[in-house]
């Protein structure tokens, strides 16, 4: 009798082995394509790999909806077809699609939850006598303040939810940043400050914290305007939520920390989506300026994440930017702010340094207002210095040029090519001309094509660059606005060495 092999083990044993084989991305890359049976096991609902990637507890009331959705079905079919020889990009796209679906559903669910819950709360509240309302409110305030000392009390969490949902209690906190303890302080203490926590946390417990925050806001939407004291003054709660989501650390964490708890990050995303719906419900005008979008871009910072975390974080960041744009800018005129171009330029530089090509592509393609701002604020000389600062940024630059729309705009409406020639960035010039050969005939303000420009305006060793431009088909007889061609300018004193070579 032959000894048992991996393939002969029952499905239940294989599931246990696979579950202990790493994160979701690693599991799929390790086992996808071994055979059809293994592929079927990977997308089996009993494994919960897809919902685990989204940090959903198996008891989540939405889990059946996710599994029955068309997107889950389509992604499962794509994962079933993966082979070990395929590019990792297909797997990454499948997981990104899961996150996009998750964010969109959570945002829509937040709207539905908000409207029905406020209506229910108001119905209960209206039936209370003044004495009952005061008593319940006082008990709620006392229980809430207990979090400052007993931040992990499940008993307090459940009591708070019960007081609001069943009794109609309302929490009132001062929005003054100098108060002892308020809603903004509680969110920082119970949620955001734990982003660097190494130890695992029960997903059910974390869900209970988020649900508690939501019911408190339902009891009093003004809680979202509570301010927590920070160095530059008080900031409202959605500032801290945005800060954590785009910087991947809490405001109170002043030093970089190697650990990152993705569970707390996902919970923060959930709470922010709910907060955005509340702000929409209130029609908070001052929040909905493009300045808020620019501030988000300035929050982005370099972070070290494993592949699962990176896919979830980066995709979430893009989807939240989409929500901010869709809700607030599409039908809003650009504000007249003298500092806006300056701040946007800083944001673009920050994005390049952080190597976030996905953000740049999103900014350029998604929204006309932002694209116009991008184009008006682009400083070719400044950003070229950043993009050629090291090998990693050069790779970023090459990837940026691979996008046809951005490349066409850069080469048509900016002086990028001539700045590259001036700096003698031969490799980048070759990359650009290989992608857009017609640029060999592009003219500067004096009527110089690239070859004439190098001969007249570029100093130092230029032999290789000139040889390449001639090889690419430069017109040797083209004349500039001074009626000079290449043969004329080569006679100049500064080009004697070129003539000899």
Q: Is residue 19 part of a domain?
A: yes
Contact 241, 271 (CB under 8 A): yes
Q: Is residue 477 part of a domain?
A: no
Q: Is residue 355 part of a domain?
A: no
pLDDT at 133: 95
Count the Cβ atoms, other than its own, within 10 Å of residue 327: 17
Q: Is residue 485 part of a domain?
A: no
Tokens 């007889």 sit on residue: 477
Tokens 């500064």 sit on residue: 494
Q: Is residue 387 part of a domain?
A: no
Contact 153, 146 (CB under 8 A): yes
- Would you state the structure tokens that stand for residue 386, as one six-digit string? 């950043």
Beta strand segments in 187-343, E? 227-230, 233-236
Residues 80, 86, 88, 92, CA torsion sign? negative
Q: What long-range pairs does 375-378 form, CB within 8 A, spacing at least 24?
A: 375/409, 375/413, 376/341, 377/341, 377/344, 377/345, 377/348, 378/348, 378/410, 378/414
Burial class (CB in 10 A: 0-12, 13-18, 19+), 131: exposed
- Would you state the structure tokens that stand for residue 233, as one six-digit string? 């003054």
Burial class (CB in 10 A: 0-12, 13-18, 19+), 257: middle
Contacts of 431 (CB under 8 A, 6+ apart): 398, 401
Q: Is residue 32 part of a domain?
A: yes
Length of the chain: 501
76/436 Cα distance (integer angstroms): 39
**pTM listed for this prediction:** 0.89
Residue-by-residue pLDDT tens, the chain, 501 positions: 556 677 778 888 888 888 888 889 999 988 888 888 888 989 988 889 999 999 888 888 899 999 999 999 999 999 888 876 556 888 999 999 999 999 999 999 999 999 999 999 999 999 999 999 999 999 999 999 888 876 667 888 999 999 999 999 999 988 766 677 899 999 999 999 999 888 878 888 999 999 999 999 999 999 998 888 766 667 888 889 999 999 998 887 766 666 889 999 999 999 999 999 998 887 655 444 445 678 788 889 888 888 999 999 999 999 999 998 887 644 444 445 677 788 888 889 999 999 999 999 999 999 888 888 899 889 999 999 999 989 999 999 999 999 999 999 999 899 999 999 999 999 999 999 999 999 999 999 999 999 999 888 888 888 888 889 989 999 889 999 999 888 888 888 777 777 665
Give the total number of structural domains in the chain. Answer: 1
Q: Is residue 60 part of a domain?
A: yes
Burial class (CB in 10 A: 0-12, 13-18, 19+), 4: exposed
SS (H, E, C) 40-95: HHHCCCCCCHHHHHCCCCCCCCCHHHHHHCHHHHHHHHHHHCCCCCCCHHHHHHHH
Contact 56, 63 (CB under 8 A): yes
**Residues of the domain holding 73:** 6-98
Rounded (10°) angle between helices 307-328 and 357-366: 20
DSSP 175-194: --TTSSS-HHHHHHHHTGGG
14/17 Cα distance (integer angstroms): 5
Tokens 């048509």 sit on residue: 412
pLDDT in tens, 408-463: 999 989 999 999 999 999 999 999 999 999 999 999 999 999 999 988 888 888 88
126/392 Cα distance (integer angstroms): 61
Count the Cβ atoms, other than its own, within 10 Å of residue 485: 17
Q: Is residue 91 part of a domain?
A: yes
């Amino acid at each position: 009798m032959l000894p048992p092999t991996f393939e002969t083990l029952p499905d239940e044993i294989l599931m246990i082995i696979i579950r202990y084989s790493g994160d979701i991305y690693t599991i799929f890359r390790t086992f996808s394509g071994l055979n059809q049976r293994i592929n079927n096991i990977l997308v089996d609902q009993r494994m919960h790999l897809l919902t685990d990637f989204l940090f959903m507890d198996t008891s989540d009331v939405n889990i059946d909806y996710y599994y029955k959705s068309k997107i889950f079905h389509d992604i499962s079919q794509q994962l079933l077809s993966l082979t070990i020889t395929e590019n990792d990009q297909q797997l990454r796209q499948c997981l990104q699609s899961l996150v996009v679906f998750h964010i969109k559903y959570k945002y829509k669910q937040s709207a539905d939850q908000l409207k029905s819950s406020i209506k229910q709360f108001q119905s209960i509240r209206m039936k209370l006598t003044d004495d009952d309302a005061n008593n319940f409110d006082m008990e709620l305030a006392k229980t809430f303040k207990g979090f400052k000392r007993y931040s992990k009390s499940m008993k307090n969490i459940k009591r708070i939810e019960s007081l609001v949902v069943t009794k109609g209690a309302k929490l009132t906190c001062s929005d003054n940043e100098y108060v002892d303890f308020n809603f903004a302080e509680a969110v920082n203490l119970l949620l955001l400050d734990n982003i660097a926590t190494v130890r695992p946390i029960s997903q059910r417990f974390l869900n209970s914290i988020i649900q508690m925050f939501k019911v408190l806001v339902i009891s009093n939407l003004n809680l979202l305007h509570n301010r927590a004291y920070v160095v530059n003054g008080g900031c409202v709660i959605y500032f801290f939520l945005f800060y954590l989501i785009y910087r991947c650390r809490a405001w109170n964490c002043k030093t970089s920390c190697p650990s990152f708890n993705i569970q707390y990050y996902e919970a923060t995303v959930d709470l922010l989506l709910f907060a955005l719906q509340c702000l929409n419900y209130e029609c908070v005008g001052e929040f909905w300026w493009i300045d808020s979008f620019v501030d988000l871009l300035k929050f982005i910072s370099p972070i070290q994440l494993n592949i699962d975390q990176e896919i979830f974080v980066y995709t979430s960041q893009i989807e939240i930017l989409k929500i901010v744009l869709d809700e607030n800018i599409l039908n809003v005129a650009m504000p007249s702010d003298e500092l806006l171009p300056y701040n946007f330029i800083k944001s673009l530089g920050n994005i390049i340094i952080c190597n976030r090509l996905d953000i740049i592509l999103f900014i350029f393609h998604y929204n006309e207002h932002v694209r116009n701002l991008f184009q008006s604020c682009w400083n070719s000389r400044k950003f070229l210095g950043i993009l050629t600062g090291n090998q990693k940024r050069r790779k970023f630059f090459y990837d940026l040029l691979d996008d046809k729309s951005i490349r066409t705009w850069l080469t048509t409406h900016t002086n990028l090519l001539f700045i590259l020639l001036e700096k003698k960035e031969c490799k980048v010039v070759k990359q650009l001309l290989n992608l857009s050969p017609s640029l060999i005939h592009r003219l500067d303000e004096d009527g110089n094509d690239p070859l004439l420009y190098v001969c007249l305006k570029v100093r130092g060793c230029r032999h290789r660059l000139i040889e390449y431009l001639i090889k690419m088909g430069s017109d040797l007889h083209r004349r500039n606005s001074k009626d000079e061609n290449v043969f004329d300018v080569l006679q100049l004193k500064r080009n004697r060495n070129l003539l000899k070579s």
